[in-house]
A and B are shown apart, each in its own frame.
Chain A
């Protein structure tokens, strides 16, 4: 879903023909990146997994030896059934019976993970009706979420990014680029500490067996909507105030997603990034001369046109909610 959001806000849909070689480079780079990741993951995780397998084999052997009445086949049958249930989030251990997966607050948490496309998988719809409803709910709900997030981010961006940048640009007289970059850095730093470091510290306290790194890892995996599900808060045995905790986590995830998008949008509005991305997006057929002339125009009148653009931006932003097209389009319309 990040691709839908970034697609509508940061990315300019431009026409084709050029940059075919750029696209080939992109494909190659992407594949290489995946291969690189695979190699590193494999080399880091394989030894640990090896160890775990050996330990598990020994555990099973020892258990069967201690209880000679139990045949291996019977144990396997039992285990298959236990593991199946465990996959669906139903634990057969006695001290876990207090945790229901589908009480109201847990369902709320589940609904929010579905709509944000995080999808931990610690709880999954078991019934056929649940699965069917899940599909229909997401088909409507995910675009709804996109709309919601875009609207909120657009409004927040005005107060958080455009007004401060304009203010400092006019007040202190630095060029807009510099102010924008500094502002983006500061905003990024604040967001990281508020939505990653502090919640990670909180989770490492609230959850029994999470250390700080694991909590930070959880925050990152959740807010980027990857949602592996290896760490899910609120699933510990005898978790106190479980309902409140689940609601709190739901709110945190939503706000964190909004904050990430605000930061992403801020960074996308930086001119440098825009230029870099233009390499990969297909350009309209222009004469070489025209392109150069226009770039020169940009350079010489940049500050004036920027101010005009930002004034226009503010005007627009104060008016009724417009289409979710990004404000960077203003600049592109000026480029024309």
Chain B
């Protein structure tokens, strides 16, 4: 149906395909277009322009999470000012409060939040894992016991898509049967197969295929065969994008990266790859090298509220006594509003007096994540990603023997040595 337009712009490094013709979209209005601007000549990384209904998004991209239709104390103007082009909302939470009917009346989640750029909504599937005490999975869907009013609700593929249709997000996620990555045995296979069936039900239930993009989510746990089977099946469906799910849940990093790279090996080149739940700087950089385009994680915004500021050399616990008399900004090289005006000492003191302290750190952390991704993208465009990675690792870790083993292995698998 809606095929992605593939264009090879200047700077692409697949020289043998330099004369690739443009494929026109089959339907008049394709709500997603991926333009591959550059591909790394060493790793599997790409830099793309992802054209979505509300605006263009430069990838690789980190998407901040605004679970309940707000990004924890930050206004939409501030978010826009930081250069954020897409952020997340959550179907489970918003489906409960304020509910899809109210949001429809408010002109969708965009209208309700007054956010003019793109929104991606998760299906509610992850809550199955995170709120497992309150849920029960059947072929029909996931039965949740609402923590707010003890009512039981059934989140089926149809119901999830219906809510997401009301939310009006630019990218919707299928409802998948999510199993914690630490679970093994037949449940993993069952979940993988069910996720495929639920994908088909989600596709059928989507009332707005011309305005809202439905992404599939590859499951299969940490089992290469199951992952491969899932990839084979799901890539037969004509969805505008794919997510790599079921990871980033406490599994061994050595297993994690192998599943990521296996997935990108078998996902179509001309569609975006979204790695769910990844947000630590090292993970982002490595997974970009492994071929992922989009990421989301609550970590940067959540950790900010505890006074933890993200910096190129790790993190800085602003609330610690050692910063009480430190009159530097969090990061002297950072251009965010917080670092341009405030010192560690002031923020340290402010944490004792007002919530504004949290907001300052949240702004800084979002700026850090977005700046990191911009730098990664620029290095891909200039075809110097391996060099960027080496510099990044040197800055992040005091010495070579502190580089995480899994990261070294993962990078080696895409021809990057971090000496």
* Co-assembled chains A and B: no
